[in-house]
Amino acid sequence: MKISSVTAKVFTHSSNTVRDSDGHGHPGPESQTTSALLTITCDDGSEGRVICRPAEVREALLERFIRPNLIGRDPMVTEALWYRIYEWQRLSGGQLSDRTLTAVDLALWDLKGKICGQPVWKLLGGARPKILAYGSTMCGDDLANGLATPEDYARFAEWMVKERGYKAVKLHGWMPPMPGAPSPKKDYAACAAVREAVGPDVPLMLDPHHFYSRTDTLWLARKLAELDFRWMEEPMEEASISSYKWLRESCDLNILGPETMTGKHWIRAEYVKADAVDLVRCGVWDVGGITPSMKAANMAESFHMSCEMHGTGAGNLSVALAIHNTSFYERGLLHPFIDYDKPKEYQNRIDDEMDGDGYVHGREEPGLGQDLNLDYIETHLV
């Protein structure tokens, strides 16, 4: 069996999320946007698929960097295929991004699952058939009854826990360009209001402004420790490993990371070696796919550390179900104005349906577990 084609189809669909100038998502008026369906096909007709951003799989990238490494190759050798493409990143002039590598790796794992007749989470080892999710809020905003005040956060967290069944909650604080952001004191006020609303036993986490100073970060970390928060992530530029080592040694709060720092599983090993974090952070779209995510997670396990997956979707869920050393699946981003459980037009089902007890289950269908509406995609091509 050999890989015979690699194609990307761009299609339109509606969205109710807008991005602010810093890239953070917020609720917005329904608008049209585009996504891409990457498909890797074998000579026996097997297909691996993933939804991604059009720019990540534009034709020039596929032709120059992806097809030369995949066409004619055995689809089962995901480790070899990942490495070949990864090594071409170095001299790609920055064109071959980790996100492009991720899209290819996820489509290859979907393909492997289809060929083997198994869900990817089981092929990876299947540590658990279901996992508790935490509700991960959108960043703060200035929308009336949205996430504009500490009381808004408290009310939404109470709904998440008491009505929707989440067993943990993570706040994204207010970030620029929101008025009054960044503000450690505002972040703390939201966290204190949420702790008051949900009680002392619900695990809470904070993902604040990502460019605080050491002193602002330490003040916030110490206040969150008083509220018995489970972790704080990415409060400072992650290129400064020594700042995270200093923070960890200066406070009692668990520090999670790195999330967005380049370097795949290698940089996560350096963070652990430097004693710069208490919990490792990894997301398939941050490190180049499932293949490197498993390496990061297994490294963390060797140090008895948790590896908490960043972001939602079938790829992150597959890894979270596959490994022992993780506690929650990040489900979101959530907002009072958005029905997260409603499938997008190109989905028959969302990737991460959650039951009333707060669990997201691994699916038994072969592949990543995406349930795509291919007819919709074919009839809405750009």
Query: What is the β-pairing status of strands 255-257 and 47-52?
Result: unpaired
Q: How far is the CB of 256 from Mg ion (least distance, A)?
A: 8
Q: How far is the CB of 121 from ligand XYH (least distance, A)?
A: 21
Residue nearest to Mg ion (CB): 207
Please give the Cα distance from 147 to 141 (Å, whole number): 5
**Can residue 351 be called a binding residue for Mg ion (CB under 5 A)?**
no
Q: Where are the alpha helices (DSSP H) in the chain?
A: 59-61, 67-70, 78-89, 98-116, 120-123, 150-158, 184-198, 214-226, 241-250, 264-273, 284-287, 290-302, 314-322, 374-378
Q: How far is the CB of 231 from Mg ion (least distance, A)?
A: 10
Q: How far is the CB of 42 from ligand XYH (least distance, A)?
A: 34
Q: How far is the CB of 91 from ligand XYH (least distance, A)?
A: 29
Residue 160: which of 341, 2, 18, 288 has the closest Cα? 341
**Can residue 187 be called a binding residue for Mg ion (CB under 5 A)?**
no
- Rank residues 85 and 287 by Cβ distance to Mg ion and give the closer one: 287
Cis peptide before 292 (omega within 30 of 0): no
Q: Residue 209 is encoded by which pair of tokens?
A: 């402004």
Query: What is the β-pairing status of strands 371-372 and 329-334?
Result: unpaired
DSSP 256-302: EE-SS-SSHHHHHHHHHHTT--SEEEE-HHHHTSHHHHHHHHHHHHH
- Rank residues 40 and 282 by Cβ distance to Mg ion and give the closer one: 282
- Rank residues 36 and 276 by Cβ distance to Mg ion and give the closer one: 276
**Can residue 207 be called a binding residue for Mg ion (CB under 5 A)?**
yes
Secondary structure of residue 133 in the 3-state scheme = strand
By the criterion CB under 6 A, which residues form the site for ligand XYH? 24, 139, 172, 207, 259, 310, 333
Please give the Cα distance from 26 to 133 (Å, whole number): 21
Return the residues of window 248-267 that contact Mg ion according to CB under 5 A: 259
**Can residue 56 be called a binding residue for Mg ion (CB under 5 A)?**
no
Q: How far is the CB of 320 from ligand XYH (least distance, A)?
A: 13
Q: Is 53 exposed, middle or buried (0-12, 13-18, 19+ CB in 10 A)?
A: middle
- Rank residues 121 and 328 by Cβ distance to ligand XYH and give the closer one: 328
Query: What is the β-pairing status of strands 347-349 and 359-361?
Result: unpaired
Residue 303: which of 283, 329, 278 has the closest Cα? 278
**Can residue 308 be called a binding residue for Mg ion (CB under 5 A)?**
no
Please give the Cα distance from 319 to 121 (Å, whole number): 6
Q: Are the beta carbons of 155 and 192 closer than 8 angstroms? A: no
- Rank residues 8 and 309 by Cβ distance to Mg ion and give the closer one: 309
Secondary structure of residue 351 in the 3-state scheme = coil
Q: What does 141 interact with, of ligand XYH, Mg ion, none (CB < 5 to 8 A by kind)?
A: none
Q: What does 195 interact with, of Mg ion, ligand XYH, none (CB < 5 to 8 A by kind)?
A: none
Q: What does 333 interact with, of ligand XYH, Mg ion, none (CB < 5 to 8 A by kind)?
A: ligand XYH
- Rank residues 25 and 129 by Cβ distance to ligand XYH and give the closer one: 25
Backbone angles phi, psi at 218, to 5 degrees: -65, -40
Q: How far is the CB of 136 from Mg ion (least distance, A)?
A: 8
Q: What does 209 interact with, of ligand XYH, Mg ion, none (CB < 5 to 8 A by kind)?
A: none
Q: How far is the CB of 338 from ligand XYH (least distance, A)?
A: 14
- Rank residues 207 and 216 by Cβ distance to Mg ion and give the closer one: 207
Residue nearest to ligand XYH (CB): 24
- Rank residues 49 and 281 by Cβ distance to Mg ion and give the closer one: 281
Q: What are the residues binding Mg ion (CB under 5 A)? A: 207, 233, 259
